[in-house]
Amino acid sequence: MIEAVVFDLDGVLLDSEQIWDAAREQLVRERGGHWHERAQQDMMGMSSLEWSRYMHDELGLAESPKEINEEVVERMLALYRGSLPLLPGATEAVRRLAERWPLALASSSNRPIIALVLEQANLAELFRVTVSSEEVPRGKPAPDVYLEAARRLRVAAERCAAVEDSRNGILSAKATGMKVVAIPNRAFPPDGETLALADVVLDSLAELSPQAVSG
């Protein structure tokens, strides 16, 4: 029996993967680094500590990982203050599920970004728990951020459902024993083998209902 639902943020509630990608690529090119075609896929789901270190070590930025992280987050906050890229049906889907279960958020985004998004979307009061992967040892596909969300909810992971869109997110949630509801990211879809690990596959947030999660 499902007792709580844990949402991902980027790619599930926000159409933001391309925005993160553009912000990082722009910084790398501005600072004389070496962007390559695998960079976006490599960094998807990484914690801020992991992707900022990757940009320093693999993409050749001279700045420290801490400085890289701060610069990218400031750029993302500025973009979101100008226009929040909520996916169609995001607010309605969260509200539908909040009527039945306590909700958590398990995101690779930094804490300031999570706070800004939920405040601007008027969703903050609906999430009992929010966890950033910068607050756990490892980012997705490791299970740490989902395990921490379940711990803070005080619900066994096996009694939670996770809503995910990406390969690393699906792997992360699946490793905890959570029921995985996948809404594949249209820009960066998970491969078929990974998608087959999901318990439920939906086409859009419009289909995300209590019946879809519990059925």
- Answer with the residue of higher pLDDT: 49 or 8: 8
pLDDT tens digits along 32-55: 999 998 998 899 878 899 999 999
For range 165-169, the mean pLDDT: 95
Answer whether residue 188 shows pLDDT above 90: no
Q: Is 189 left (phi over 0), alpha (psi -120 to 50) or beta?
A: beta
CATH number for the domain whose boundaries are 17-82: 1.10.150
Same fold, 4-15+85-214 and 17-82: no
Please tell me the predicted confidence (pLDDT) of residue 44: 83
Please tell me the predicted confidence (pLDDT) of residue 158: 98
The rounded mean pLDDT for the chain is: 96
Q: How far is CA 72 from CA 14, 30, 57, 194, in A?
A: 17, 12, 16, 29
Confidence of residue 63 (pLDDT cuts 50, 70, 90): very high
Catalytic site includes residue 8: yes
- pTM metric for this prediction: 0.92
Domain boundaries, the chain: 4-15+85-214, 17-82
Answer whether residue 87 shows pLDDT above 90: yes
Sheet of 4-7: strand order equals 127-132, 103-107, 4-7, 160-164, 179-182, 200-201
* 4-15+85-214 CATH fold: Rossmann fold (3.40.50)
CA distance 112 to 134: 11
Answer whether residue 85 shows pLDDT above 90: yes
Catalytic site includes residue 57: no
Answer whether residue 17 shows pLDDT above 90: no
Answer whether residue 187 shows pLDDT above 90: no
pLDDT tens digits along 103-156: 999 999 999 999 999 999 999 999 999 999 999 999 999 999 999 999 999 999
pLDDT > 70: what percent of the chain? 100
